[in-house]
Structure formats: structure tokens, C-alpha cells
Amino acid sequence: MINIDVLIIYEHVSRELESAVLLKKELEKRGLRTRIAQYGWSEPAARFLYNPKIIIAPWCYDDIDYEFFREFVGGYDGGRFKLINIHCEQIGNSEDSGFMLPSGKAKEVYHFVWGEYFKEKLLGCGTDINKIFITGNIRLDFFRDTYKKISVDKKNLIEKYNLDNCKKWILIIGSFSGDVLQGKDISQLQERGINNIDTWKKIMLDSYYNILNWMEYICNKEVVSNDYEIIYRPHPSECITDNLREIEKKFSNFHIIGDYAIRDWMINVDKLYAWNSTSAVEAIYSDKPIIFLRPIEIPENFRSPLLEKVVKITNPKQFYESIFNEDDKDDNFNKEFKEDVNFYYHKDETTSVYKMVKLIVEIYNKDENYVYGKISMTKRIFLFIKYIIKCILKKVGLLRFFPNVKRVADDVIGRKELRELITRINSIGDVNER
């Protein structure tokens, strides 16, 4: 067992890893020994190896998650740590708010929130105000001038994916949950607070297949084929369907690419489209226009108050015409959406990472609000052996026989890519308040 100060758990590489690496770098500069583990892959090894004093979690929704994180304290009963929930999902609707907001013991941990909106939501469900801290969203730090240089250069994208620099680039952001598309774990999601999941599944599936038809419609247009690269970036948990693969096979200018942070693509493309994604906020910070593709109207109870203010188009003809429309370059485009963003995502001159690190150090030094570990030695060993087996199966190429495990493994970053990311993050140099 290795004593460390902070263990950062992340879920998806493209959504969270670079933020975790930046946070680790800044914590270690302040003398806190920090490690990173990926949920669903390396976290069993973390449970076996590390005894942290603080765990930073991507989510902690309820007693189920709370008990899950109790197994991360060096694998012995009675060990203790402090748990910080950074809430990777904070923008929802009336149907999923019961899932997004903590319940039971999960309310008692520390909560880092992006802005006033989610702070009010946490207070409304009974969370102690003294455990809620507004930090902003660390992902938005990477749009600041200090951090911009670590983003992937367009030249690298051209070389790696054989994209045409002479064409304009359109990014279509996938936001279709893999579990919902595959119909998995519906009952569990309902039990944990997402209401009317069957209705949402139908809306999502119908929208998804309509949008596939729209993409095929525009790709069939000669001017799009000749003058545009269409990049479809799936959500980190999205399943790539055969229908989507067929479009990529049919059109040489259509590409399915899930690599890199969404920001790396946003800053290098000309236009952005999505169905229903908080990536619209990052689009604002990248100073690029974004439009929502809405073949089916989303019922009011499933609408996000913020996201519904993004400009929408409702048919393939409008989609095609919008590609050439220059109105989205006007400062008033998506004006109402832009004005509301600050309520949901606090941003000032102080970086989010600086605020987070300052708070983590303060929490580290407090002698209160502990979570007590609970895991047997037998389970520790079993989980570690299971992790080793997964690594071996991945190395010898046999994970294809275990689809559920393969899906997680496909989101695991390679050592070379990780080293490159760490090098880029370290190139930032000293990060002060701003």
C-alpha cells in the first residue's frame, strides 16, 4: 500500500484526462503527492495500491456511489479520506435532475460546482452550503491565452487523419449515450432517478437516425463533397453504429474521429453542429458558431433551460443551407444563449484550476468530514487480479470476445499519447491565479 495525498479518478479520456493531468501538476507543485486512475479500467489497481487522503471523483450521485468510493482507501477497513465530487455533469432537465443531484450520503461530501445554477440546485436538495464551492469549469481554462498553446495544432490533425486543409471543416458533435442507444441498464437508471427513460430513449434514437439521414443528405451534395470535410466526433460513451460506419465508407470527406478533447477540434474547424450538448458552451469560448440539429422537437420536461436557447434547425434542407450561411458570424448570433452562460458557468480573471487547488489544499488541512474505507482483503486481491487479466487480454488482442470490457478499454489512452499529453501540460509553465 502506497500512502499518497490525492487520488484523481476520471472516467473519459477526451472529456476529463487533460484536466486531471493539469490538476495533478498544480497539486504536486504544492507538495501533494497525486496519482490518477481511470474509472472502469485502472481504478481496481488504485484500490489495491493507494491509501489517499483525498479522492477527487467525477461524480457521486447516491449511496451506491458513496459505497463504491469507500473501497478506494488502501483496501483496509478503518482507513479514512475526504471525498470531493467535481460533478462532471451539471446541466440537466426536470427528468434527470433526480439523478444528477446527490442523495443520501453523497450529499455529505465536498462539492465543486461550475456556477450559481448548480449551487442553487444542490442547496435545493438539502446539501450543506459549507460543502459547496464555486470553482468554474476547469475545461474552460484551456480556452485562456495561457493554456491555448497546448491544444492540438491543425497541421497535426491534417497529417494524422489525412484531412484536406484547402477545404472548410465542419464538426458534428455526437451526444448520444451508448447505454441508451443499446437499451442497457434502463431499469437501473430509472431506479437512480432518471424518469421516463423509455421516452427519452425513443427521442434520442429517432433523433439520431434522422440526423444520420441528414448527414448523408448533405454529403451527397457535390459542393459539400468538393469543398468540405465533415468530422463526426462521437460522445465518449457513444456506440458507433453500423449505419454511421456506412456513411463513412460511402463518403471520403466524412470522418468519424473520437480522439482528442473537443476543444482541439473546435478551435480548428469552421462550423459546429450538435443535437443537445453542453459542448455548446465550449463553442462559445472557442468563438465558433454552433447550431443544434433538431429533427424532433424535445418535449418541455426534457429540455435544458440553457441549451434550448441555442439556435436550431429542423430539417435537412435547413442543415444544408446553414453550411453556407454567414449570419452565424454576427455577434448577435446565439445572443440569448451567450448571455445566460455566466449563470451556469462562472468565469472571472482567476483560473478554475487555481481555485480548485487552493480549495483542495484547504480541505486537505482540515480535520473533519471524513469518509471511512470499507473493503476486504479478498476483494482487493480479486479486483487487482481482474485488472491484470484485462491488461493481458488487451495486450494479446482478445478483448473483442468481451464487448463490455472492450468498450471501456477502447477509451484507455496509450502510454505514448499520455506522455505527449503530460509534456504539453507541463509546457504551460507556472500557473498563477490568472
Cβ-in-10-Å burial (0-12, 13-18, 19+) of 226 comes to exposed
Average pLDDT in the 41-49 region?
Answer: 87
Confidence of residue 181 (pLDDT cuts 50, 70, 90): very low
Q: How many domains does the chain have?
A: 2
Full-model pTM: 0.88
Identify the domain containing residue 418 by its residue range: 2-137+347-426
pLDDT score recorded for residue 376: 79
Site of grid cell 453523497: 106
Examine residue 147 and state whether it is found in any structural domain, yes or no: no
Query: How sure is the predictor about 63, in pLDDT bands with cuts at 50, 70 and 90?
Result: very high
Whether the per-residue pLDDT at 179 is higher than 60: the answer is no
The pLDDT value given to residue 193: 55
What is the mean pLDDT of the segment spanning 9-30? 94
Same domain, 132 and 250: no
Half-sphere exposure of 173 (CA within 13 A, CB side): 28
Q: Does one domain contain both 395 and 422?
A: yes
Place of cell 478533447: 261
Residue 182 has pLDDT above 80, yes or no: no
Residue 125: partners with Cβ closer than 8 Å, 6 or more residues away:
101, 102, 103, 107
Kindly report the average pLDDT of the chain as a whole number.
89
One domain, residues 99 and 10: yes
CATH number at residue 23: 3.40.50
Each residue of 130-153: pLDDT tens digit? 999 999 999 999 998 888 888 888
**Within this chain, do residues 73 and 204 fall inside the same structural domain, yes or no?**
no
Let me know the angle formed at the C-alpha of 195 by 193 and 200, rounded to the nearest 5 degrees: 130
Final residue in a domain of this structure, among 312, 339, 366: 339
Nearest to 323 by CA among 230, 394, 402: 230
The Cβ of residue 78 has, within 10 Å, a number of other Cβ atoms equal to: 8
Residues 332 and 366 in one domain: no
In the block, residue with C-alpha cell 487520488: 7
Confidence of residue 74 (pLDDT cuts 50, 70, 90): low
User: In this structure, is residue 107 part of a structural domain?
Assistant: yes
Amino acid letter, 92: G
In single-letter form, the type of residue at position 199 comes to: T
Alpha carbons 173 and 175: distance in angstroms, whole number? 6
> Over the stretch 391-434, which tens digit does the pLDDT of each residue have?
999 889 888 888 778 878 888 888 888 898 898 898 886 666 55
More confident residue, 404 or 174: 174
Among 19-23, 47-51, 123-127, 361-365, the range scoring the smallest mean pLDDT is: 47-51
pLDDT digits (tens, 9 = 90+) for 340-381: 998 999 988 999 999 999 999 999 999 999 999 888 788 888
Domain limit, last residue, from 315, 339, 363:
339
Q: What are phi and psi of 212, to 5 degrees?
A: -60, -45
87-101, 327-341, 417-431: which range is least confident on average? 87-101
CB 359 within 8 A of CB 331: no
- Sign, CA torsion 238/343/119/55: positive
Instruction: Classify 195 as helix, strand or coil.
Output: coil
Instruction: State the cell numbers at 270.
Output: 469552421
Same domain, 292 and 368: no
pLDDT for res 99: 72
* In a domain? residue 145: no
pLDDT tens, position by position, 335-346: 999 999 989 999
- The answer to whether residue 148 is domain-embedded is no
Kindly state whether residue 219 falls inside one of the protein's structural domains: yes
184 & 216 share domain: yes
CA distance 80 to 362: 17
Separation between Cα atoms, residue 208 and residue 296, nearest integer Å:
10
Q: Are residues 361 and 330 in the same domain?
A: no
**Does residue 283 sit in the same domain as residue 409?**
no
Nearest to 121 by CA among 305, 378, 397: 305
**288 and 213 both lie in a single domain:** yes
Q: Is the confidence at residue 321, as pLDDT, over 90?
A: yes
Do 410 and 309 fall within a single domain?
no
- If asked whether residues 329 and 280 sit together in one domain, one would say yes
Is 399 inside a domain boundary? Answer: yes
For the stretch 221-272, pLDDT in tens is 999 999 999 999 998 888 889 999 999 999 999 999 998 889 999 999 999 9
Q: Which H/E stretch holds residue 172? A: strand 168-173
Single residue among 314, 339, 364 that ends a domain in this structure: 339
In a domain, 327, yes or no: yes
Cell of 222: 457535390
- Least Cα distance to 322 among 337, 311, 338, 331 occurs for 311
Mean of pLDDT values over 122-136: 96
| Domain CATH code at residue 160 | 3.40.50.2000
Of all residues in the chain, the percent with pLDDT exceeding 70 is 92
Contact between residue 176 and residue 277 where contact means Cβ atoms under 8 Å apart? no
pLDDT of the residue at 138: 95
Answer whether residue 357 is part of any domain: yes
Distance CA 420, CA 417 (A): 5
